Amino acid sequence: MVNKIPHIVVVGAGFGGVATIRALADVKAKITIVDRTNYHLFQPLLYQLSTAVLSTDDISFPVRAMFRRRDNIDLFMAKATGIDGKNKVLHTNHGDIAYDYLVVSAGTTNNFFGMENVRKYSYGMKTIQEALHIRNHVLHMFERANKQIDSEQVRRQMLTFICVGGGPTGVEEAGALAELVAVQKLDYPNLNFDEVSIKLIEATDKVLPMMPENLRNYTLKVLRKKGVEVMLNTAVADCSEEGLFLKDGTFIPSKTVIWAAGVRAHGLVATLGPECDRSGRIIVEKTLQVPGYPEIFAIGDNAHFEQDGHPLPTVAPVANQEAVVAAANIKKMIKGQEKLREFSYKDYGSMATIGRCQAVVSWGYLRIGGFFAWCIWMFLHLLRLEGTHADITVGTKWLWNFISGTRLGRIITNIKFDEEQ
């Protein structure tokens, strides 16, 4: 009798999915990666795409190129739409796939907390398309404002840029926007830059909540020095094409609201039916299995795993570490072993940039802010980027940005030409 080799399907070629496949290197199995795109995206640098520092292929890498030396691995580019756990079938928009083991690592999407107008009128930043949309729109606003000579009010509305959410994404985006504005000053000598405003809005009383107090205060100081107005204890109520409504009744006229205030798991995971948390993440077993479906593992942003009484954050190291344990458990199951590994997260700390030459790093006893923290941040991000070409191009762009302060990616790419043009 010929033993059939198992089929492992991994949904998502993000941090968790790629780390799972790497950890399954020595397994004798057919592996299919299902992703709606054909690339792995390095989300932590999306904000640099949206603020004209980097370009698309600096922060993304083709999945097929990653695994071209392993002929048991294939990419199925499709959107996973549902999981039939009973019959072990993954539904996609390009057909069904039968699996023996399934790893769900489809990441998250923006969470607008049910505010429909916020979803409609604000700019999310979870995908390449969204980051490019922000870049094009922000650059466009400068062009429009430059020609808006009649109304200061309209110009101010065009030149008011709001980031909502004081986590790393909101902080990094606000700091990077402030620097982009400084570059724009050179290109628009006729614009009055006193009319430009960047606001960072946060519902709680702090930015970067995972950082110690001294680094949070340092972050606030640096942001304010860059000209960012940080509005703490400020909750969003609604949004329109003309601006943002706050819970205290204030209206901020603006054409640009960037939403970095929350994420939720893709609807895909809920189709399976297990218990999910408020963000739609599956509450997984200690082995990362989905309750009731031992052959399905949920990891990364799709898994709710509690440690020391708190759910783990939705960050890349959690996805990477969970991937290793999920892969180890699949190998054990293939070998027929019953005792599976339990997951335990090792937190090495966190970091965020506030702009050129300024970052905060909190690792164990090391808690620093400033230039040295920024060097650590850069070095580690270069290490984590996929592909040598990306290391070289990103390193060169950062060096040039450091020396000259300019942003060469100030290219508006979404203009539609008709045939006459």
Ligand X SMILES: Cc1cc2nc3c(=O)[nH]c(=O)nc-3n(C[C@H](O)[C@H](O)[C@H](O)COP(=O)(O)OP(=O)(O)OC[C@H]3O[C@@H](n4cnc5c(N)ncnc54)[C@H](O)[C@@H]3O)c2cc1C
Residues that bind ligand X (CB under 6 A): 11-17, 34-37, 41, 43-44, 46-47, 79-80, 105-107, 125-126, 168-169, 266, 268, 300-302, 314-317, 319
Q: Indicate the residue among 115 and 260 with the shorter CB distance to ligand X.
A: 260
* Least gap, CB of 184 to ligand X (angstroms): 22
Q: Indicate the residue among 13 and 176 with the shorter CB distance to ligand X.
A: 13
* Least gap, CB of 338 to ligand X (angstroms): 28
Q: Indicate the residue among 145 and 223 with the shorter CB distance to ligand X.
A: 223
SS3 at position 228:
strand
Phi/psi at 79 (5° precision):
-95, 120
* Least gap, CB of 393 to ligand X (angstroms): 19
Q: Indicate the residue among 157 and 219 with the shorter CB distance to ligand X.
A: 219
In contact, 47 and 172? CB cutoff 8 Å: yes
Q: Indicate the residue among 115 and 351 with the shorter CB distance to ligand X.
A: 351
Q: How far is it, in rounded angstroms, from Cα 145 to Cα 45?
A: 28
Nearest to 279 by CA among 296, 303, 257: 303
Which distant-in-sequence residues (6+ apart) come within 8 Å of 203 by Cβ?
233, 234, 235, 236, 261
Nearest 5 degrees, angle CA 117-CA 120-CA 121? 85
Helix (H) or strand (E) holding 404: helix 388-404
Q: How far is it, in rounded angstroms, from Cα 325 to Cα 153?
A: 56
359: DSSP letter = E
In contact, 391 and 385? CB cutoff 8 Å: yes
CB neighbour class for 266 (10 Å; exposed up to 12, middle 13-18, buried from 19): buried
Is residue 116 among the annotated active site residues?
Answer: no
In contact, 400 and 57? CB cutoff 8 Å: no
In contact, 76 and 34? CB cutoff 8 Å: yes
- CA quadruple 120, 124, 128, 133: dihedral positive or negative? positive
* Least gap, CB of 231 to ligand X (angstroms): 21
Helix (H) or strand (E) holding 259: strand 256-259
Which position among 172, 173, 285, 322 bears the catalytic label? 172
Q: Indicate the residue among 172 and 285 with the shorter CB distance to ligand X.
A: 172
Task: Tell me the residue nearest to ligand X as measured from the CB.
Answer: 14
Residues with a catalytic annotation lie at: 172
